[in-house]
Amino acid sequence: MELKTTENQRMIADMVRDFGAKHIKPKMREWDDSQEFPVEVFKKLGELGLMGVLVPTEYGGSGFGYLEYVTAIAELSRIDGSIGLSMAAHNSLCTGHILAFGNEEQKRKYLPKLATAEWIGAWGLTEPNTGSDAGNMRTVAVQDGDYWVINGAKNFITHGKSGNVAVVIVRTGEVGDSHGMTAFVIEKGTEGFSAGRKEDKLGMRASETTELIFQDCRVHKDQILGEVGEGFVQAMKVLDGGRISIAALSLGIAQGALDAALAYSQERHQFNKPISSFQGIAFKLADMATEVEAASLLTYQAADMKNRGLNVNKESAMAKLFASEVAVRVANEAVQIFGGYGFTKDYPAEKYYRDAKLCTIGEGTSEIQKLVISRAMLK
Ligand SMILES: Cc1cc2nc3c(=O)[nH]c(=O)nc-3n(C[C@H](O)[C@H](O)[C@H](O)COP(=O)(O)OP(=O)(O)OC[C@H]3O[C@@H](n4cnc5c(N)ncnc54)[C@H](O)[C@@H]3O)c2cc1C
């Protein structure tokens, strides 16, 4: 089996590297320190077509497939995981949900704005008391004629404050019924819909994470995506694709940490030799490179299957599980190779280490990926 890199992938990788050198690298430390979400960077990514990678051209997107999408996220995350995470959440979750389940009118209304980053998108599934157990959510919508009135809160929502539009999945039926939840698309400025507290995070600090609050928020039935009661089932399908993007995010962070450690190991001298000449360091590099390669194969395999319209439920979970754990291990070893300097903010290793940890948690923890994989094996 050979997964050939396409001309488009090569073009995207070059474009992202140039973009990163000019618009991300000079400021990424500052954003990380101050936890600033750099909206202007996403507007520029929109101009490059990277905020609507999978959106067909008829809706203003780039019309690419998953191979190009994985390449774009991995190359961005090789530079800065925060930017990769926000790009992935915007593309896969909010935009991806509308693309997959919106009607023609909703697609025409929202996709061109999202694909160009005129608007930033958010997606709300998680609640303060229900993360892994999202199906047990308590935010509720009650029907009132042609309207639904929403009350409750979502938390850990990427772009909860800066997002211009959010897709939110809320309860419209009985607790415990997987067909008792519905997805609504809601614009910023809607009465009763606001952003709450912004999280102060370990890593991914330039990616904004906030609460969403609903207080008697009235939304028209035209804002429902698909059918009433299908929101949770839709969300699980959105996550099947989304997990490929978190695998790509993990892959990029792991590759970035490896690049940095490889270069440093040849520059840093101890005992009058570069530290790369010590087998203890060289073998670490060999293990790191092998794990990155394996993560890459699983990620691109899932992407290729998704392009072919196959069910990727198990494969996207495997790619996400493996690549995210690799990102954590590789970033950990990178800090070790940098020694004391790896523990300081003067070098890049500590940021990869902090950012990598999110990958084993967001869009389903490693434990939940094992649940998805084993369920697919045992059914
Ligand atoms: C930076 C960031 C961005 C995010 N962005 C979004 C977003 O845009 N939209 C959104 O909806 N959500 C978002 N999330 C939420 C994220 O998806 C959840 O944090 C994640 O699903 C885990 O849920 P939890 O935090 O409630 O952990 P919990 O579900 O409380 O899990 C706690 C621990 O228990 C384990 N556990 C739980 N259930 C089981 C089980 N059945 N078997 C074994 N172990 C189990 C978990 O693996 C974990 O180790 C984001 C989170 C972060 C940190």
- For ligand 1, atom 38, which residue shows the shortest CA distance? 132
Helices (H), 7-65: 7-19, 28-34, 39-47
Domain boundary among 120, 137, 171: 120
- Res 4 pLDDT > 90: no
- Record the tokens describing residue 196, joined without a space: 């709450």
CA nearest neighbour of 276 among 286, 61, 140, 116? 286
Residues 38 and 82 in one domain: yes
178 C-alpha to ligand 1 centroid (Å) = 18
> Is residue 163 within 8 Å of residue 225, measured between CB atoms?
no
The token duo for 63 is 């019309």
Mean model confidence pLDDT for the chain: 97
Angle between helices 81-88 and 231-267 (to 10 degrees): 160
Residue 363 near ligand 1, beta carbon < 6 Å: yes
Same-domain pairing of 357 and 241: yes
221/315 same-domain check:
no
Q: Got the DSSP string for 16-32?
A: HHHHIIIIITTTHHHHH
Q: Both 290 and 358 in a single domain?
A: yes
Crossing angle between the packed helical segments 66-79 and 231-267, to the nearest 10 degrees = 50
Quick one: 340 and 367 in the same domain? Answer: yes
Q: Which of 203, 229, 255 is the last residue of a domain?
A: 229
In CATH, what number is assigned to the domain containing residue 297? 1.20.140.10
Supply the pLDDT for residue 167: 98
233-281 pLDDT, tens digit each: 999 999 999 999 999 999 999 999 999 999 999 999 999 999 999 999 9
3-state secondary structure of 100: helix
Q: Helices (H) and strands (E) in the chain — how many of each?
A: 12, 10
Same structural domain, 242 and 374? yes
Q: Which residues contact 227 (CB under 8 A, 6 or more apart)?
A: 182
Residue 140: inside a domain: yes
166-196 pLDDT, tens digit per residue, is 999 999 999 989 999 999 999 999 999 999 9
Q: Assess whether 94 and 165 both reside in one domain.
A: no
Final residue in a domain of this structure, among 229, 264, 289: 229
User: Helix, strand or coil for residue 123?
Assistant: strand
Q: Give the count of domains, the chain.
A: 3
What token pair was written down for 281? Answer: 């360091």
- d(CA 362, CA 323) in angstroms, rounded, equals 13
Top mutation candidate among 136, 211, 361 for ligand 1, by most atoms within 8 Å of CB: 361
Based on the fold, state whether residues 285 and 361 are members of the same structural domain: yes
CA 148 / ligand 1 centre spacing (Å)? 28
- Within 10 A of 147 (CB to CB), how many other CB atoms are there? 15
Atom 37, ligand 1: which residue's CA is nearest? 132
Q: Is 270 in the pocket of ligand 1 (CB under 6 A)?
A: no
CA of 69 to the centre of ligand 1 (A): 24
Using a pLDDT cut of 70, give the percent of the chain over it: 99
Q: Is the pLDDT of residue 1 over 70?
A: no
Q: Is the pLDDT score of 91 beyond 80?
A: yes
Token pair 């754990």 is found at: 325
Show the domain range for 217. Answer: 122-229
Whole-model pTM: value is 0.98
Residue 1 lies in a domain: no
167 Cβ below 6 A of ligand 1? no
* Within a domain: 98: yes
Q: Same structural domain for residues 110 and 138?
A: no
